[in-house]
């Protein structure tokens, strides 16, 4: 021991650590307390999650049961209205046809429904929190460190408490995706409102606008380009987390990727990964183009 420790005293040769019995007692206490708390609140949690479960099931059924040509046309129309670019629309059409050609249409629709629900929930929760952070320095000082933790925590770690509380299934996966995807929405909402031209806010004050009127009529409209960037990042984060969430029972393309990894099916994994990338690129280009149009509109209005 002394030779491998450069001649230092023995107590300096190994890092100080908790004894095994103390570690076991701590783990047992925390795990038991957490499980007891979960058993106590599980009825309320189930009741709170029921509407979300029904919404997800309804949207997934609509995506999967609707004839593919209808979904295809609706997605292209939405892509066109978002991007107003025939190149983006054509690219989206080619990607969707390729996805269907390789037999991934059903799984892609399941993934799209999951990403849609998670993005909507992340926006609904993240937007008010971002507004709160932008209007209160104290709130920002509390929220930002939490967002730092949420964005640096490994994505797999999100699944542990979610599985303990909710078990296996779509709703636990959806909650993990929402938590993972929400920080960009909060950060960029906060940033967008804080970057609104001070003269515009002062003009609203001069006209006697209330705080609510100033928020809805001046700050939110002028920060829309930044908010759209937040929506874009939320969608991208949700798409990336869907694959990880497949470990707790979320279906779709993520489950196929997980099965391909477990069975070393290179082609299956590559095709499902291609489908996810195609969807991500389509969403990214369409929302970026929409954000740029909003930016140009804001610049024209400012002039």
The most confident of the ranges 11-20, 24-33, 155-164, 238-247 is 24-33
d(CA 85, CA 62): 27
pLDDT of residue 186: 93
Per-residue pLDDT, 126: 92
Mean pLDDT across 74-79: 90
- What DSSP state is assigned to residue 256? H
Question: How far is the CA of 115 from the CAs of 59, 98, 111, 125, in angstroms?
Answer: 11, 20, 6, 15
Fold of 25-300: MetI-like fold (1.10.3720)
Instruction: Check pLDDT > 90 for residue 125.
Output: yes
Closest CA to 190 of 142, 158, 236, 238: 142
- The residues near 136 (Cβ < 8 Å, ≥ 6 apart) are none
Name the residue ranges covered by the structural domains of the chain. Answer: 25-300
Residue 200: is its pLDDT beyond 70? Answer: yes
pLDDT digits (tens, 9 = 90+) for 133-146: 988 889 999 998 88
Distance CA 71, CA 188 (A): 31
User: With 50 as the cut, is the pLDDT of residue 243 above it?
Assistant: yes
Max Cα distance, the chain (Å) = 79
Residue pLDDT, tens place only, 157-175:
777 777 777 777 788 888 8
Rounded (10°) CA dihedral 221, 227, 232, 238: -130
Asked if pLDDT for residue 2 goes beyond 60, the answer is: no
Mean pLDDT of all residues in the chain? 84
- Best-predicted range by mean pLDDT (88-97, 244-253, 293-302): 88-97
- Sign (positive/negative) of CA torsion 237, 241, 243, 249? negative
Q: Alpha-carbon distance 150 to 271, whole Å?
A: 30
What percent of the chain lies above the pLDDT cut of 90? 12
**pLDDT on residue 297:** 64
């Amino acid at each position: 021991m002394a030779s491998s420790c450069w001649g230092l005293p023995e107590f300096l040769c190994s890092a100080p650590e908790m004894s095994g019995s103390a570690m076991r007692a701590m783990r047992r206490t925390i795990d038991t307390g957490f499980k007891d708390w979960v058993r106590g609140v599980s009825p309320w949690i189930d009741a709170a999650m029921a509407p979300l479960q029904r919404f997800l099931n309804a949207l997934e059924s609509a995506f999967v049961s609707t004839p593919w040509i209808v979904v295809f046309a609706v997605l292209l129309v939405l892509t066109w209205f978002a991007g107003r670019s025939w190149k983006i629309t054509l690219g989206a059409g080619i990607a969707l046809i390729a996805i269907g050609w390789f037999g991934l249409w059903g799984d892609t629709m399941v993934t799209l429904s999951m990403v849609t629900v998670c993005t909507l929930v992340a926006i609904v929760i993240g937007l008010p929190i971002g507004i709160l952070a932008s209007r209160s320095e104290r709130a920002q000082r509390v929220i930002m460190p939490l967002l730092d933790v949420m964005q640096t925590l490994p994505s797999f770690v999100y699944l542990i408490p979610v599985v303990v509380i909710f078990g296996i299934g779509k709703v636990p996966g959806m909650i993990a995706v929402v938590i993972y995807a929400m920080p960009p929405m909060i950060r960029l909402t906060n940033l967008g409102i804080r970057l609104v031209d001070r003269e515009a806010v002062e003009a609203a004050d001069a006209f006697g606008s209330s705080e609510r009127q100033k928020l809805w009529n001046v700050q939110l409209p002028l920060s829309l380009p930044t908010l759209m960037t937040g929506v874009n990042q939320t969608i991208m984060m949700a798409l990336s987390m869907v694959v990880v969430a497949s470990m707790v029972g979320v279906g779709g393309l993520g489950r196929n990727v997980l099965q391909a990894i477990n069975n070393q099916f290179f082609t299956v994994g590559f095709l499902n990964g291609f489908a996810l990338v195609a969807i991500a690129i389509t969403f990214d280009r369409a929302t970026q183009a929409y954000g740029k149009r909003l930016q140009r509109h804001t610049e024209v209005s400012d002039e």
